[in-house]
Amino acid sequence: MTQTPYGLPLVGVTACRVASGSATAHRVVDKYVDAVVEAADCLPLIIPALGAVVPPEQFLARLDGVLLTGSPSNLDPALYGGGVRPEGDPADPHRDATTLPLIRACVASGVPLLALCRGIQEVNVAMGGSLHGRLHEVPGRHDHRSDKTLDYAGRYRESHAVKLAPGGLLAGLLEGLVDDAGTIAVNSLHGQGIDRLAPGLASEAWADDGTVEAITMPGAKGFLLAVQWHPEWQAAAIEAHRRLFTAFGDACRTHLQSRGSH
Protein backbone atom coordinates (compact mmCIF):
# COMPACT_ATOMS: atom_id res chain seq x y z
CA MET A 1 0.00 0.00 0.00
CA THR A 2 1.15 3.54 -0.76
CA GLN A 3 1.93 5.45 2.41
CA THR A 4 1.68 9.24 2.66
CA PRO A 5 3.88 11.19 5.11
CA TYR A 6 0.86 10.98 7.42
CA GLY A 7 0.15 7.26 6.95
CA LEU A 8 -2.69 5.63 5.04
CA PRO A 9 -5.99 7.40 4.39
CA LEU A 10 -8.75 6.04 6.60
CA VAL A 11 -12.04 5.36 4.78
CA GLY A 12 -15.27 4.80 6.63
CA VAL A 13 -17.40 2.02 5.11
CA THR A 14 -21.08 2.17 6.04
CA ALA A 15 -22.66 -0.89 7.61
CA CYS A 16 -26.21 -2.21 7.70
CA ARG A 17 -27.91 -3.40 10.88
CA VAL A 18 -29.35 -6.85 10.30
CA ALA A 19 -31.06 -9.55 12.34
CA SER A 20 -28.65 -12.17 13.67
CA GLY A 21 -30.38 -14.85 15.67
CA SER A 22 -32.04 -13.18 18.66
CA ALA A 23 -29.90 -10.05 18.30
CA THR A 24 -28.79 -7.64 15.58
CA ALA A 25 -25.40 -7.17 13.96
CA HIS A 26 -23.59 -4.52 11.93
CA ARG A 27 -22.70 -6.01 8.55
CA VAL A 28 -20.61 -5.02 5.54
CA VAL A 29 -20.12 -7.39 2.58
CA ASP A 30 -16.41 -8.06 2.07
CA LYS A 31 -16.31 -6.79 -1.54
CA TYR A 32 -16.66 -3.21 -0.29
CA VAL A 33 -13.87 -3.57 2.24
CA ASP A 34 -11.67 -5.33 -0.34
CA ALA A 35 -12.25 -2.54 -2.89
CA VAL A 36 -11.07 0.12 -0.44
CA VAL A 37 -7.85 -1.82 0.16
CA GLU A 38 -7.14 -3.21 -3.31
CA ALA A 39 -8.41 -0.44 -5.62
CA ALA A 40 -8.47 2.76 -3.53
CA ASP A 41 -5.24 1.87 -1.67
CA CYS A 42 -6.72 3.02 1.63
CA LEU A 43 -7.41 1.58 5.06
CA PRO A 44 -11.08 0.67 5.68
CA LEU A 45 -12.92 1.27 8.94
CA ILE A 46 -16.49 0.01 9.31
CA ILE A 47 -19.01 2.65 10.41
CA PRO A 48 -21.70 0.94 12.51
CA ALA A 49 -25.35 1.87 11.98
CA LEU A 50 -25.71 3.72 15.27
CA GLY A 51 -28.01 6.53 14.18
CA ALA A 52 -27.88 9.60 16.42
CA VAL A 53 -25.88 7.83 19.14
CA VAL A 54 -22.63 9.15 17.61
CA PRO A 55 -22.78 12.51 15.76
CA PRO A 56 -21.38 12.14 12.22
CA GLU A 57 -18.83 14.88 12.87
CA GLN A 58 -17.18 12.59 15.41
CA PHE A 59 -16.51 10.04 12.66
CA LEU A 60 -15.45 12.60 10.09
CA ALA A 61 -12.90 14.19 12.40
CA ARG A 62 -10.94 10.93 12.06
CA LEU A 63 -11.78 9.89 8.48
CA ASP A 64 -10.32 10.84 5.11
CA GLY A 65 -13.23 9.50 3.06
CA VAL A 66 -16.57 7.71 3.24
CA LEU A 67 -17.82 4.82 1.11
CA LEU A 68 -21.60 4.38 1.06
CA THR A 69 -22.31 0.72 0.35
CA GLY A 70 -25.18 -1.03 -1.35
CA SER A 71 -27.74 -2.97 0.67
CA PRO A 72 -30.78 -5.23 0.29
CA SER A 73 -32.73 -2.69 2.36
CA ASN A 74 -34.51 0.41 1.05
CA LEU A 75 -34.77 3.91 2.44
CA ASP A 76 -37.92 4.72 4.38
CA PRO A 77 -40.33 6.40 1.90
CA ALA A 78 -41.34 8.85 4.65
CA LEU A 79 -37.88 10.42 4.33
CA TYR A 80 -38.65 11.70 0.82
CA GLY A 81 -42.41 12.10 0.83
CA GLY A 82 -42.97 8.68 -0.68
CA GLY A 83 -45.89 7.67 1.51
CA VAL A 84 -46.22 4.41 3.42
CA ARG A 85 -43.62 1.68 3.02
CA PRO A 86 -45.03 -1.17 0.86
CA GLU A 87 -45.63 -4.44 2.69
CA GLY A 88 -42.54 -6.64 2.55
CA ASP A 89 -40.20 -3.78 1.61
CA PRO A 90 -36.88 -4.43 3.42
CA ALA A 91 -36.08 -1.71 5.95
CA ASP A 92 -33.04 -0.57 7.92
CA PRO A 93 -34.03 2.50 9.96
CA HIS A 94 -30.73 2.47 11.86
CA ARG A 95 -28.82 2.80 8.60
CA ASP A 96 -31.17 5.56 7.39
CA ALA A 97 -30.54 7.46 10.63
CA THR A 98 -26.78 7.04 10.22
CA THR A 99 -26.09 7.69 6.55
CA LEU A 100 -28.29 10.72 5.82
CA PRO A 101 -26.71 12.96 8.50
CA LEU A 102 -23.30 11.53 7.59
CA ILE A 103 -23.74 12.55 3.94
CA ARG A 104 -24.73 16.09 4.87
CA ALA A 105 -21.73 16.31 7.19
CA CYS A 106 -19.40 15.05 4.41
CA VAL A 107 -20.73 17.71 2.04
CA ALA A 108 -20.36 20.44 4.67
CA SER A 109 -16.81 19.48 5.60
CA GLY A 110 -15.49 18.39 2.20
CA VAL A 111 -14.73 14.79 3.17
CA PRO A 112 -14.49 12.71 -0.05
CA LEU A 113 -17.57 10.58 -0.68
CA LEU A 114 -18.12 7.63 -3.02
CA ALA A 115 -21.65 6.23 -3.02
CA LEU A 116 -22.80 2.97 -4.60
CA CYS A 117 -26.31 1.64 -5.35
CA ARG A 118 -28.31 2.37 -2.15
CA GLY A 119 -25.65 5.01 -1.61
CA ILE A 120 -26.70 7.13 -4.62
CA GLN A 121 -30.26 7.00 -3.36
CA GLU A 122 -29.12 8.08 0.11
CA VAL A 123 -27.18 11.03 -1.32
CA ASN A 124 -30.19 12.20 -3.31
CA VAL A 125 -32.58 11.90 -0.36
CA ALA A 126 -30.11 13.45 2.12
CA MET A 127 -29.83 16.52 -0.10
CA GLY A 128 -33.60 16.89 -0.62
CA GLY A 129 -34.44 14.66 -3.60
CA SER A 130 -36.91 11.79 -3.96
CA LEU A 131 -36.97 8.20 -5.23
CA HIS A 132 -39.09 5.82 -7.25
CA GLY A 133 -39.85 3.21 -4.61
CA ARG A 134 -40.43 0.48 -7.20
CA LEU A 135 -38.67 1.52 -10.36
CA HIS A 136 -39.84 -1.49 -12.38
CA GLU A 137 -43.47 -0.39 -11.85
CA VAL A 138 -42.88 3.09 -13.34
CA PRO A 139 -44.26 3.27 -16.91
CA GLY A 140 -41.48 3.25 -19.48
CA ARG A 141 -38.79 2.06 -17.10
CA HIS A 142 -36.94 -1.24 -17.36
CA ASP A 143 -36.59 -3.78 -14.57
CA HIS A 144 -33.16 -2.95 -13.14
CA ARG A 145 -33.22 -5.67 -10.50
CA SER A 146 -30.72 -8.53 -10.60
CA ASP A 147 -31.62 -11.88 -12.11
CA LYS A 148 -32.00 -14.14 -9.06
CA THR A 149 -31.78 -17.24 -11.25
CA LEU A 150 -28.07 -16.52 -11.79
CA ASP A 151 -25.28 -17.37 -9.40
CA TYR A 152 -23.68 -14.59 -7.32
CA ALA A 153 -21.03 -13.73 -9.90
CA GLY A 154 -23.57 -13.85 -12.71
CA ARG A 155 -25.69 -11.16 -11.07
CA TYR A 156 -22.74 -8.74 -11.26
CA ARG A 157 -22.09 -9.15 -14.97
CA GLU A 158 -22.60 -6.13 -17.20
CA SER A 159 -26.28 -5.97 -18.11
CA HIS A 160 -26.96 -2.62 -19.81
CA ALA A 161 -25.30 0.55 -21.07
CA VAL A 162 -25.33 4.00 -19.50
CA LYS A 163 -24.70 7.23 -21.42
CA LEU A 164 -22.22 9.59 -19.78
CA ALA A 165 -22.62 13.35 -19.62
CA PRO A 166 -20.01 14.86 -21.97
CA GLY A 167 -17.35 16.75 -20.06
CA GLY A 168 -18.54 15.44 -16.71
CA LEU A 169 -16.48 14.05 -13.85
CA LEU A 170 -17.38 10.47 -14.73
CA ALA A 171 -16.60 10.91 -18.42
CA GLY A 172 -13.19 12.26 -17.47
CA LEU A 173 -12.43 9.37 -15.14
CA LEU A 174 -13.45 6.81 -17.78
CA GLU A 175 -11.79 8.49 -20.76
CA GLY A 176 -10.73 5.90 -23.34
CA LEU A 177 -13.24 3.32 -22.08
CA VAL A 178 -16.35 5.00 -23.49
CA ASP A 179 -17.64 3.78 -26.88
CA ASP A 180 -18.49 5.97 -29.88
CA ALA A 181 -22.04 6.44 -28.56
CA GLY A 182 -20.67 7.86 -25.30
CA THR A 183 -21.71 4.82 -23.26
CA ILE A 184 -20.20 2.19 -21.01
CA ALA A 185 -21.69 -1.12 -19.87
CA VAL A 186 -22.55 -1.56 -16.19
CA ASN A 187 -24.10 -4.14 -13.90
CA SER A 188 -27.58 -3.57 -12.45
CA LEU A 189 -28.94 -4.81 -9.12
CA HIS A 190 -31.35 -2.15 -7.87
CA GLY A 191 -35.09 -1.95 -7.35
CA GLN A 192 -35.27 1.76 -6.59
CA GLY A 193 -34.02 4.80 -8.47
CA ILE A 194 -33.87 8.58 -8.46
CA ASP A 195 -37.13 10.39 -9.17
CA ARG A 196 -36.62 14.10 -8.40
CA LEU A 197 -32.96 15.10 -8.35
CA ALA A 198 -31.97 17.08 -5.26
CA PRO A 199 -31.02 20.76 -5.61
CA GLY A 200 -27.30 21.21 -6.15
CA LEU A 201 -26.75 17.74 -7.63
CA ALA A 202 -26.06 17.05 -11.31
CA SER A 203 -26.73 13.92 -13.36
CA GLU A 204 -23.61 12.28 -14.79
CA ALA A 205 -25.07 9.20 -16.53
CA TRP A 206 -28.42 7.74 -17.62
CA ALA A 207 -29.78 4.37 -18.69
CA ASP A 208 -31.67 4.30 -22.00
CA ASP A 209 -34.99 4.41 -20.13
CA GLY A 210 -34.05 7.72 -18.51
CA THR A 211 -33.03 6.32 -15.13
CA VAL A 212 -30.33 8.46 -13.52
CA GLU A 213 -27.30 6.23 -13.03
CA ALA A 214 -24.67 8.64 -11.64
CA ILE A 215 -24.61 12.01 -9.91
CA THR A 216 -22.11 14.57 -8.67
CA MET A 217 -22.26 17.90 -6.87
CA PRO A 218 -20.72 20.73 -8.88
CA GLY A 219 -18.84 23.11 -6.62
CA ALA A 220 -18.64 20.65 -3.73
CA LYS A 221 -15.81 21.21 -1.25
CA GLY A 222 -14.57 17.66 -1.76
CA PHE A 223 -14.80 14.70 -4.13
CA LEU A 224 -18.37 13.44 -4.49
CA LEU A 225 -19.45 10.74 -6.93
CA ALA A 226 -22.45 8.45 -6.65
CA VAL A 227 -23.33 5.65 -9.07
CA GLN A 228 -26.30 3.31 -9.25
CA TRP A 229 -24.24 0.26 -10.21
CA HIS A 230 -21.67 -1.79 -8.27
CA PRO A 231 -18.06 -0.91 -9.16
CA GLU A 232 -16.86 -2.54 -5.94
CA TRP A 233 -17.35 -5.86 -7.76
CA GLN A 234 -13.87 -6.98 -8.88
CA ALA A 235 -12.77 -3.40 -8.32
CA ALA A 236 -9.08 -4.06 -8.84
CA ALA A 237 -9.55 -6.26 -11.92
CA ILE A 238 -12.12 -4.33 -13.99
CA GLU A 239 -10.57 -1.16 -15.39
CA ALA A 240 -13.67 1.03 -15.21
CA HIS A 241 -14.28 -0.02 -11.62
CA ARG A 242 -10.67 0.48 -10.61
CA ARG A 243 -10.57 4.01 -12.00
CA LEU A 244 -13.48 5.13 -9.82
CA PHE A 245 -11.86 3.76 -6.69
CA THR A 246 -8.45 5.14 -7.66
CA ALA A 247 -9.91 8.63 -8.05
CA PHE A 248 -11.66 8.28 -4.70
CA GLY A 249 -8.46 7.02 -3.06
CA ASP A 250 -6.48 9.92 -4.50
CA ALA A 251 -9.03 12.36 -3.08
CA CYS A 252 -8.73 10.67 0.31
CA ARG A 253 -4.94 11.03 0.19
CA THR A 254 -5.29 14.71 -0.59
CA HIS A 255 -7.68 15.12 2.32
CA LEU A 256 -5.30 13.28 4.67
CA GLN A 257 -2.38 15.46 3.62
CA SER A 258 -4.49 18.57 4.13
CA ARG A 259 -5.47 17.43 7.62
CA GLY A 260 -1.88 16.48 8.42
CA SER A 261 -0.46 19.80 7.31
CA HIS A 262 -2.77 21.56 9.76
Render each residue's pLDDT in the chain as its tens digit; 262 residues. Answer: 666 676 899 999 999 999 888 999 999 999 999 999 999 999 999 999 999 899 999 999 999 999 999 999 999 999 999 988 888 889 999 999 999 999 999 999 999 999 999 999 999 999 999 999 888 888 999 988 998 899 999 999 999 999 999 999 999 999 999 999 999 999 999 989 999 999 999 999 999 999 999 999 999 999 999 999 999 999 999 999 999 999 999 999 999 998 876 5
Q: Which pairs with CB-CB distance under 8 Å and at least 24 residues apart come from 180-186?
A: 184/240, 185/158, 185/159, 185/160, 185/161, 186/158, 186/159, 186/160, 186/161, 186/162, 186/213, 186/227, 186/228, 186/229
CA distance 2 to 253: 10
Per-residue pLDDT at 13: 98
pLDDT of residue 188: 93
pLDDT of residue 91: 93
Which pLDDT score is estimated for 262? 57
What's the pLDDT at 211?
95
CA distance 243 to 231: 9
Active site amino acids: 117, 230, 232
pTM strictly above 0.85 = yes
16-45 pLDDT tens trace: 999 888 999 999 999 999 999 999 999 999
pLDDT score of 4: 66
Q: What is the pLDDT of residue 2?
A: 67
What span, in angstroms and rounded, lies between the C-alpha atoms of 76 and 79?
6
Say how many residues make up the chain. Answer: 262
